[in-house]
Chains A and B, each alone.
Chain A
Amino acid sequence: MELADILGGACPVRQAGPGDDVDGVMPRVVATPGSTEQTAALLRTCHQHRLAVTTRGRGTRLSWGRPPRRLDVVLETTAMDRLVEHAHGDLIATAQAGLPLADLQAVLAEAGQQLLVDDLVGGGTVGGLVATNACGPRRLVPGAPRDLLIGVTMVRADGTVAKAGGKVVKNVAGYDLGKLLCGSYGTLGVVTEATFRLHPLPEATSWVEADVPMAELAGRVAAVRHSQLVPSALEVDAAPADGDGTAADRARVAVMLAGTAGGVRARTESVRGLLGAGAQQTDPRWPFRLPGDDRTAPRTSQEPADRPVLLRMTAALSAVPELVRHATAASVAVRGSAGVGVLHGRLRGSTDPADVADRVQRLRRWCTAHGGSLVVLDAAPHLKQAVDSWGPVGGLPLMRRVKHEFDPAGVLSPGRFVGGI
């Protein structure tokens, strides 16, 4: 029997074709369940046959992490694209995993609300947001998706459907499985529905931007951080000086303010004062893009042709300005939140695998020594082979045990995550 026939009883299934690969690995079929029940039926059958499954939303970050060791079935969530509930009086919303984030935000905005996350890649889905825990500048106040997720419905590798959390913002009954799923790259289960805490859309927002000499970056950033102006974002951006191994000599700093019209106006002036001469009120796009990404339209699918080496670097807050200097000296363009301590980086210059691996390793040592970490989110396949994507992972043996409990047969995206999980 053909695989499509075996799985076809569970949900719509088609043969895999061009563009269905996961980071270069071709599946045999693509299945598109339309509900949690169909997802469960599909996974149950896959599990019986020990078929390896990778979950895909709209594929905008599918190449992040490692390529799967094994792949039979791509489970696509796009047919689960309903907004299940928007309780605006309670400031919560439940959405199916395949709902595009942009669509969700559009509906919420009509009620004057938002899910306070930024999709730096663009075009992503709710499920992908959970799976990668990826976010952007406005995480400064509310935190990452893991902090906004209050309930989750998941299907385990063997088809068991489980929920955790709920639809109230305050809830300590049982383990918080939602947090465990956030950033798990689909290796623990398939998220089919997620419930989030929402925030009101502010009456007014503004950005203040300044171009500052590297030597002054630390002081300016610290002044904003230690102010009581409650910025909604504090971003930095710097590009290496043309690959000659010297650090950038200037950096851009941008500060976002949100609140009431009068309050924002006053605080905007205060921030201009803190950022020094030349600080201007602007409407920058760059904080909402990954470094080196200056496209204007949102990306809808993977573009494997030009895959930059994309890094996520973290460090203790006081070390961030130094990280900017250090990274640019290693020919890495950096951009990210100096208020949170998480920067994205894009490696420039030589694409020789050994050289890339060496630069990644050196920069990682620096991040680790300064209380943080460095993860290679994405890179071309031949480079991924040469680099360690994750670096040291505290608690890795425990993570392996968690994986083994949730997916003892190792069928969910094997190899995509830390330590070969």
Chain B
Amino acid sequence: MTTQAGHPSDPERQASVLRGADPAAEVQAQREPAGAPASRGTVAQVREDLRGLLPEEAVLTDPARLATYECDGLAAYRVTPGLVVLASRPEHVAATVRACARHRVPFVARGSGTGLSGGALPHADGVLVVTSQLRTLHEVSGEDQRAVVDPGVINLQVSQAATPLGYYFAPDPSSQQICSIGGNVAENSGGAHCLKYGFTTNHVLSLDVVTPDGEQVTLGTRAPDAPGYDLIGAFVGSEGTLGVATRATVRLVRLPEDVRTVLAGFDDTDQAGAATSAIIASGIVPAAIEIMDALAIEAAEAAVQCGYPEGAGAVLLVEVDGPTDEVAHELAEVERICREHAAIELRVATEAADRAAIWKGRKSAFAAVGRISPDYIVQDGVVPRTALGQVLRRMSEISAEQGVRVANVFHAGDGNLHPLVLFDGGTEGETERAENVSGMILDLCIEQGGSITGEHGVGSDKARYMPRMFTDEDLDTMQLVRCAFDPDGIANPGKIYPTPRLCGERPGRHQGAHPLQETGVAEIF
């Protein structure tokens, strides 16, 4: 995990001038040193407001208990929240957010806290709204191919409840045994099978949301094509910056008739990558295509004895699913292509237990790497699939030049890399070198027309890279959505965007005044 310590900068705390009719307060806000405008209230005020509205035990103030929420899955960033609310009803969320809005106190939503980009990193002067106790499965219907669930419901529970009916929830992040649907929605999570079945955003029909002013709103309907803007499309993947999801209606997908998993060993990642391209070019859309390089295999082997092909410099894991006749054909194609690309060993698993054995090494990869290196940074860059070979070669050059080991595990089918940059934080200078290599890898992805994150989100961790991928105008345009939902910037501030602008402010070169200015309600000082 990255070693960036402490509190990320928090520029939008200053961005609170336009709201509120008290000009004196605004003037004072301007005079305050950066960091804490007087117009922001305190968590103590929020706490007072919540008395009587929430059960006492739902509001945590004990420092020891608060400290247990100091980080998410990216433990290098730690901040103890000012207050924690354990919501067990949507109304608790709404009451809390309303109180935060009243005092303009930041709030951060949190599900299971497995996020890998510091998205649920709390604010010291803010409220952490934990949705993990909202965990009712309201409806799981095969007839309607949908489930209606609370945000704290665990991803895998949805599929477990749907399996007896012959259905499942397609997005399957590796963390699916613990991550929550609310977190999946906020991060637009995917999994190994999203190559064929899409990400969370392709599976959400309707959302109940508490907006940053504390309103409870239902977006979408329980059928597709609801009238109006696709606000679900904007909300999914917004990392908690547009409000808190309190209920989701998601699509369920029919379980496939047949599933086969192929494990192929190759001399190196180049060959495994070429085989991947050939499989895709043949017109097959596999359910999953994963690659691990030698270092990742070594780590997995040491940790879980997955028994991957001896001496392989790379393994390719391909899963095909669907109607039996189609699967048989695709499987034969995949085997043929792997052989053509000089696979040194080929295994096919049909039974669930055998498939699980093949997946075991892949699924253990992150944790396994943790055993061969004291510290590591997980990156999540994406490149066009055809650039994979070139990018991997360049990555190993960087690794050699910088003297930093990089293990590679990736979703090859969609070009989503998870380089694990290994280092020992205890050794002078290693942390910096590892971070430097991480940054170079992201630059490499951007150069190739790719992305800095395929599924882990931007969060606190990658906000500073956003300007490398997007222009000021691009970021400014995304901020318009933010301003529509959250003009005071209290919903998970400091995440995604490095320097959010003041809502209502038109950047210098644009013309026309903000309506609040035009009507004399507020001035920009």
Bound CA–CA A178/B330 (angstroms): 33
Q: Tell whether A89 pairs with B281 under 8 Å between CB atoms, given A160-B473, A170-B194, A173-B452.
A: yes
B48 at interface, CB cutoff 8 A: no
How many contacting A-B pairs (Cβ < 8 A)? 284
Report if B178 contacts A (CB, 8 A): no
Partner of A144, one of B225, B453, B456: B225
Q: A48-B511, A163-B474, A171-B451 are in contact. Are A87 and B386 (CB under 8 A)?
A: yes
Q: Among the listed stretches A52-60, A238-246, A314-322, which one makes contact with chain B, having 4 or more residues with CB under 8 Å of it? A: A314-322
CA distance A91 to B281 in the complex (A): 9
**What B residues does A171 contact at CB under 8 A?**
382, 450-451, 453-454
A-chain residues with CB within 8 Å of residue B234 when the two chains form the complex: 175-177, 179-180, 402
Which of B102-110, B152-160, B288-296, B476-484 contacts its partner? B476-484
Within 8 A of A (CB), among B185-241: 187-188, 190, 194, 198-199, 201-202, 211, 215, 217-234, 236-238
Contact of A173 among B194, B211, B236, B451 (CB under 8 A): B451
A342, CB-defined interface residue at 8 Å: yes
Nearest B-chain residue to A339, judged by Cβ: B145
A143 to B473, CA, bound (A): 30
Q: Is the CB of A399 within 8 A of B228?
A: yes
Query: Which of A87, A266, A341 has the most chain B CB within a 10 Å cutoff?
Result: A341
CA A193 to CA B191, docked complex, whole Å: 29
| Cα of A242 to Cα of B355 in the assembled complex, Å | 57
Q: Is the CB of B383 within 8 A of A168?
A: yes
Of A7-15, A223-231, A274-282, A324-332, which binds chain B? A223-231
A388 to chain B, nearest CB (A): 10
Report yes or no: A230 in contact with B224, Cβ–Cβ below 8 A. no
**Which residues of B sit under 8 angstroms from A87, Cβ to Cβ?**
384, 386
Q: Which of B199, B218, B506 contacts A170 (CB 8 A)?
A: B199
List, in ascending order, chain B residues with CB within 8 A of A391's CB: 227
B326 at the interface (CB under 8 A from A): yes
Min Cβ gap A181→B in Å is: 8
A366 in the interface (beta carbon within 8 A): no
Cα A2 to Cα B201 with chains together (Å): 47
- Excluding A146-B233, A317-B145, 16 further A-B contacts by CB distance (< 8 Å) are A91-B280, A133-B230, A160-B477, A160-B510, A170-B454, A179-B234, A180-B230, A228-B254, A228-B255, A263-B323, A342-B223, A372-B221, A391-B227, A396-B228, A399-B231, A408-B512
Which of B29-37, B343-351, B409-417 is the interface stretch? B409-417
Complexed CA–CA distance, A409 and B143 (Å): 46
Q: How far is the CB of B523 from chain A (nearest CB, A)?
A: 17
Chain B residues near A404 (CB-CB < 8 A): 484, 515
A-B contact pairs, 7 of them (CB 8 A): A169-B415, A172-B453, A173-B451, A183-B229, A202-B283, A230-B326, A402-B229
Pair B325/A263 contact, Cβ less than 8 Å: yes
Q: CA of A397 to CA of B485 in the docked complex: distance in angstroms?
A: 10
B432 at the interface (CB under 8 A from A): no
Closest to A154 in B: B477
Interface residues in B, total, Cβ within 8 A: 98
Closest Cβ neighbor of A312 among chain B residues = B225
Cα distance A315–B146 when bound, in Å? 12
Query: Chain A contacts of B496 at CB under 8 A?
Result: 174
Contact status B198-A263, CB under 8 Å: no
Residues of B within 8 A of A (CB): 141-146, 166, 187-188, 190, 194, 198-199, 201-202, 211, 215, 217-234, 236-238, 254-257, 277, 280-281, 283-285, 322-323, 325-326, 329-330, 382-386, 411, 414-416, 449-458, 462, 466, 469-471, 473-478, 480-485, 496-497, 506, 510-512, 514-515
User: Known: A173-B452, A316-B222. Is A262-B166 also a contact (CB below 8 A)?
Assistant: no
Chain A interface bracket (under 10, 10 to 19, 20 to 34, 35 or more): 35 or more
Contact A395 B219 (CB under 8 A): yes
Instruction: State which of A47, A168, A267, A402 has its C-beta within 8 Å of the C-beta of B325.
Output: A267
Taking the closest CB of chain B, its distance from the CB of A269, in whole angstroms, is 11
Is A355 interfacial (CB-CB < 8 Å)? no
Q: Are A163 and B326 in contact (CB under 8 A)?
A: no
Question: Is the C-beta of A63 less than 8 angstroms from some C-beta in chain B?
Answer: no
A158 in the interface (beta carbon within 8 A): yes
Least Cβ distance of A34 to chain B in Å?
Answer: 21
Rounded to whole angstroms, the CA-CA distance of A197 and B283 in the bound complex is 14
Indicate whether A305 reaches chain B with its CB closer than 8 angstroms: no
B449, A167: Cβ atoms under 8 Å? yes
